[in-house]
Amino acid sequence: MSTADLAVDSGQCLLDLGDTRRAHQLIREGQALLPRSRDKTRGVFLAYQAKSHISLGEPELAAAAAFESLQLAERIGAPRCEQLIRDHVIPSLKNYPTAQGVQELLHRAAA
């Protein structure tokens, strides 16, 4: 397990415990540590980041991270990333239909 994996997994655990600020920071740090060769993992990390933004009440940032994850997943053929966004991010973002980027994400996810 790399430092990047440890940071993001720790962030995901903190999300589950409700410590969203620290979780968001760890997820962002872990994502920055990933080498380009691990784009599939980057897509999963972006999905975690999107969930973190939703927990913080930041739908615009969540939509941006989720959109980036979907784009990456489609480019490299990573269905797990797509499924994470569809199952865990899209349902929550439907509560923010006027937030910037949400409609674009919903359209992309539906395609």
Q: What is the pLDDT of residues 35-71, one digit of tens each?
A: 888 888 889 888 888 988 898 899 999 999 999 999 9
Q: What is the pLDDT of residues 14-30, one digit of tens each?
A: 988 988 888 888 988 98
Can you spell out the DSSP letters for 56-109?
TT-HHHHHHHHHHHHHHHHHHT-HHHHHHHHHHTHHHHTT-TTSTTHHHHHHHH
Largest distance between two CA atoms of the chain: 39
Q: Residue holding tokens 């797509």? A: 82
Domains of the chain: 3-110 (1.25.40.10)
Residue 65: both structure tokens together? 């991270």
Full-prediction pTM beyond 0.95? Answer: no
